[in-house]
């Protein structure tokens, strides 16, 4: 295995772009292929690959192995982190064609007969898992799934819940598990309240519900003319917070047509003003927030809900049709500025429960 010393004694280059990563991988792929095929010295592949992926973007993970006797597969995964899913897809889309390799974005779905997870002494398979869907007349578009595991007890609930989630991640595939279920609960047989459905039918159920949802909401956009924006003042841990929210939008009856909430957080120093920005900082964060809002002024894709300021943070909220475009836009905007620490999260909230308290604070 002399190629290992040749490979890892080289001066390592920094990875800043997708092209940098693939150039590095292509320069070393023969060594990686031999390691993957032999199954030996696997850490000599995993350690440098993890390091380079982390240089490219935090939150990248991978799975590797032989697809067949001649082809190795490298699966890049965001491990279910919504805002990183699109960047995994972009990275794989830019992969070169390398003989003997297949590159895949996200852990793929597996057939039910190929999914059996063993963890902490428990097995997770179609033999001990089933499901049913809860319905709520007030939230008819919510996909609320109850997974029933026959081994579930109060004592092992944490192990059983984690193992069941890993099973679903493999059975449904990473992208479907991360995006198609709104609420997930794992219970034992003694807590069942409805007729059980075999777990292998969960894929078909989710496909049906997603198709129904898209057909219902695909072309809907709200009327944004003359919307009312209301000011709310409240406190958190005895520190003041001021919010400005589009209250007409919060009363809109078609919220589910924009099921993704994006929360953008701009950190500032409010230590001398009880967590609130002074006049100079307020102007700067207003400017930074305006630049972000200008890039997202497209009601076909995003709706500006409002903002809240206090506790050393300005939070800006958008409701979005999807999760890919906002991730790309926010990532580019954050990379263009250095004055503030800006972060963001994207999560599913079909009924905008995030903002429910603002309907009771006026």
Report residue 275 as tokens: 């967590």
pTM higher than 0.75, yes or no?
yes
- Domains of the chain from N-terminus onward: 2-105 (no CATH), 112-217 (no CATH), 229-360 (3.30.70)
- Mark 315-325 as b/e (b = at least 16 C-beta within 10 Å): bbbbbbbebbe
pLDDT at 9: 46
* Consecutive H or E run containing 68: none
Residue 267 and residue 189: Cα distance in Å, rounded? 46
Residue 107 and residue 43: Cα distance in Å, rounded? 21
- Start-end of H helices in 218-271: 247-250
pLDDT at 12: 65
* Contact between residue 45 and residue 36 where contact means Cβ atoms under 8 Å apart: yes
Residue 81 and residue 57: Cα distance in Å, rounded? 12
Residue 94 and residue 185: Cα distance in Å, rounded? 37
Q: At what angle do helices 324-336 and 82-93 cross, to 10 degrees?
A: 90
Where the chain has pLDDT below 70, the residues are 1-12, 41, 338, 360-362
* Contact between residue 275 and residue 311 where contact means Cβ atoms under 8 Å apart: yes
**Measured CA distances, 124 to 62, 127, 155 (Å):** 22, 8, 17
Q: Rounded to an integer, what is the distance from CA 49 to the centroid of its chain?
A: 22
**Measured CA distances, 337 to 125, 283, 290, 329, 331 (Å):** 48, 16, 13, 13, 11
Other Cβ atoms closer than 10 A to 24: 19
pLDDT at 14: 83
pLDDT at 10: 53
**DSSP structure class, residue 292:** H
pLDDT at 295: 87
Which H, E and C letters describe 155-219, residue by residue?
CCHHHHHHHHHHHHHHHHCHHHHHHCCCEEEEECHHHCCCCCEEHHHHHHHHHHHHHHHHHHHCC
pLDDT at 195: 96
| Beta sheet of 229-236, edge-to-edge order | 229-236, 239-246, 302-310, 313-320, 260-267, 341-348
**Measured CA distances, 82 to 78, 79, 89, 207, 345 (Å):** 8, 9, 12, 19, 8
Other Cβ atoms closer than 10 A to 251: 10
Rg of the chain, C-alpha, whole Å: 24
* Contact between residue 296 and residue 302 where contact means Cβ atoms under 8 Å apart: yes
Residue 293 and residue 313: Cα distance in Å, rounded? 17
pLDDT at 276: 96
347 - beta bridge partners?
A: 261
């Amino acid at each position: 295995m002399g190629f290992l010393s040749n490979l890892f004694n080289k001066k390592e280059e920094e990875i800043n772009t997708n092209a940098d990563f693939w150039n590095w991988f292509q320069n070393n792929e023969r060594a990686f292929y031999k390691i993957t095929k032999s199954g030996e010295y696997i850490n000599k592949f995993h350690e440098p690959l993890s390091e380079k992926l982390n240089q490219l973007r935090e939150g990248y993970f991978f799975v590797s192995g032989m697809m067949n006797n001649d082809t190795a597969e490298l699966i890049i995964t965001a491990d279910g982190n919504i805002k990183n899913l699109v960047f995994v897809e972009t990275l794989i889309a830019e992969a070169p064609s390398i003989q003997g390799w297949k590159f895949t974005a996200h852990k793929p779905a597996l057939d039910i007969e190929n999914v059996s997870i063993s963890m902490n002494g428990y097995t997770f398979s179609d033999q001990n898992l089933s499901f049913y869907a809860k319905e709520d007349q007030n939230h008819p578009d919510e996909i609320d799934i109850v997974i029933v595991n026959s081994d579930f007890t109060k004592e092992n609930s944490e192990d059983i819940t984690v193992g069941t989630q890993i099973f679903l991640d493999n059975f449904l595939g990473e992208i479907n598990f991360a995006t198609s279920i709104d609420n997930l609960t794992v219970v034992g047989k003694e807590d069942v309240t409805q007729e059980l459905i075999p777990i292998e039918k969960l894929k078909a159920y989710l496909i049906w519900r997603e198709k129904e949802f898209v057909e219902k909401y695909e072309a809907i956009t709200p009327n944004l003319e003359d919307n009312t924006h209301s000011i709310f003042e409240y406190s958190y841990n005895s520190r003041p917070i001021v919010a400005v929210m589009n209250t007409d939008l919060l009363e809109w009856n078609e919220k589910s047509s924009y099921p993704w909430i994006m929360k953008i957080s701009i950190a500032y120093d409010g230590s001398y003003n009880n967590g609130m920005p002074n006049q100079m900082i307020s102007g700067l964060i207003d400017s930074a927030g305006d630049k972000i809002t200008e890039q997202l002024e497209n009601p076909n894709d995003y709706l500006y809900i409002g903002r809240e300021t206090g506790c050393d943070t300005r939070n800006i909220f958008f409701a979005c049709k999807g999760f890919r475009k906002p991730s790309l836009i926010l990532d580019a905007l954050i990379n263009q500025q250095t004055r503030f620490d800006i972060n963001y999260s994207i999560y599913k909230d079909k009924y905008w429960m995030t903002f429910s308290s603002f309907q009771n604070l006026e």
